[in-house]
A = this chain, B = another copy of it.
């Protein structure tokens, strides 16, 4: 029922000139360098992901299996230009994976071409076509689970989860990043972007995404939104209930004081955030515990970062790390200290 996208990838960078326009592609190169075999740019002036330039036909010949649309991370339309690029990839025998709001499978021309070529079109927003979403059972599963929660959107929940997976793997540990957003799905090749799932099935989809596992295995579940967010808290709660986490990390951006785009809503304190996550999360897992704080310091001066972390650590009484600077070793130590 979840997506399962074959790699290696050809990254379509299109006409993107700025790094921000090809953010999805950059995330793929950063987190899955071995999966990225080439880039397809419409001209020499397009942002360079430092992958070999190639056409879809050349990429297929070189063993690539899927073209990922690396542009327009948050939604966006299937423009005529994009549609032509997708059609060319299909004709070359590549699957195509997309985080666009417009579904490739909903375009009759592309859907027919893909059928005829025997390739798949992956629309990672929402479930695969025809998938019957499950209702949650509430059953506890074997293995351990950690969820990255946030004081807001866009504070580093995906980055923190991917950092934890990387650092656990580096330590020889068994762990799996579980994607719940479109970029995360493309980076991991699996999971589902849950914000487009009907609310009744949200927890059930997350349960399926984090199944029974070995007792020492950690699922590292990518969080979404915030229980304190005025629009998206329902997504966060379905995720919290479905994941039944043993541990969670609160992600926060240093310097941010109000909800992005909702300036009349001050962000909760770390303590208030922990309290609300536990109040809701203990219904599905009475042992839920906060193991630390991930403080994204990218928006404050380098000279202020150490003090910001120290101050928050004193306030919260928990390890505070910026994964981009410090790694996640102290969070992992706290996870190991549970029970």
Residue ranges of A at the interface with B (Cβ–Cβ < 8 Å):
126, 135-138, 194-200, 202-204, 227-228, 230-235, 237-238, 241, 262, 264-265, 275-276, 279-280, 283-284
* B238 near A234: Cβ-Cβ < 8 Å: yes
* B194 near A199: Cβ-Cβ < 8 Å: yes
Residue of B whose beta carbon sits closest to that of A226: B283
Residue of B whose beta carbon sits closest to that of A138: B230
A204 in complex: contacting residue of B228, B231, B241, CB < 8 Å: B231
A155 to B33, CA, bound (A): 53
A97 to B238, CA, bound (A): 30
* A237 near B233: Cβ-Cβ < 8 Å: yes
In the assembled complex, which residues on chain B have CB atoms less than 8 Å from the CB atom of A235? 199-200, 234
Residue of B whose beta carbon sits closest to that of A134: B231
A232 to B195, CA, bound (A): 15
In the assembled complex, which residues on chain B have CB atoms less than 8 Å from the CB atom of A230? 136-138, 203, 241, 283-284
* A198 near B198: Cβ-Cβ < 8 Å: yes
In the assembled complex, which residues on chain B have CB atoms less than 8 Å from the CB atom of A195? 198-200
The 3 closest A-B pairs by CB, nearest first: A138-B230, A234-B238, A136-B231
In the assembled complex, which residues on chain B have CB atoms less than 8 Å from the CB atom of A233? 203, 237-238, 241, 280, 283
Nearest-Cβ distance from residue A203 to partner chain B, whole angstroms: 5
A280 in complex: contacting residue of B194, B197, B202, B280, CB < 8 Å: B280
* A200 near B232: Cβ-Cβ < 8 Å: yes
In the assembled complex, which residues on chain B have CB atoms less than 8 Å from the CB atom of A202? 199, 234
Nearest-Cβ distance from residue A266 to partner chain B, whole angstroms: 10
In the assembled complex, which residues on chain B have CB atoms less than 8 Å from the CB atom of A232? 199-200, 203
In the assembled complex, which residues on chain B have CB atoms less than 8 Å from the CB atom of A283? 228, 230, 233, 265
In the assembled complex, which residues on chain B have CB atoms less than 8 Å from the CB atom of A136? 230-231
A230 to B126, CA, bound (A): 21
A231 in complex: contacting residue of B126, B200, B234, B275, CB < 8 Å: B200
